[in-house]
Amino acid sequence: QVQLVESGGGLVQPGGSLRLSCAPSESIFNFNAMGWYRQAPGKQRELVARINVGGRTDYADTVKARFTISRDNAENTMYLQRNSLRTEDTGVYYCNANVLSRNFWGQGTQVTVSS
């Protein structure tokens, strides 16, 4: 069973920045893709950003130009750098890893954007 350990959530003011980290229990190159999903209160979980094994990235329209997904091969960790945060970015952020038809999820980390 793949384990995904997330960190970096917390409280931040609007306009601020925060970086999330996701460290899998096995090599990031074992996955077809990794990504971040967000679940806001009362809403469904939605894709924020993802990166595939070849390095191609995709973003939700609401976060383009503000968020950057990346991975550090040496540290075997995926990151989500989030700048210019807005109150609507609040939610629980989940790390996801996909291999073949299987999806694995982290436990989630709470991010609250509020003044």
pLDDT at 66: 96
What mean pLDDT comes out for the span 105-112? 96
pLDDT, tens only, 89-98: 999 999 999 9
pLDDT-derived band of residue 4, with 50, 70 and 90 as boundaries? very high
pLDDT, tens only, 43-102: 999 999 999 999 999 999 999 999 999 999 899 999 999 999 999 999 999 999 999 889
Please spell the DSSP secondary structure of the chain, one letter per residue. Answer: ---EEEE--EEE-TT--EEEEEEESS-GGGSSEEEEEEE-TTS--EEEEEEETT--EEE-TTTTTTEEEEEETTTTEEEEEE-S--GGG-EEEEEEEEETTEEEE---EEEEE--
pLDDT at 18: 94
Q: Check whether 39 has a pLDDT greater than 90.
A: yes
Q: Check whether 1 has a pLDDT greater than 90.
A: no
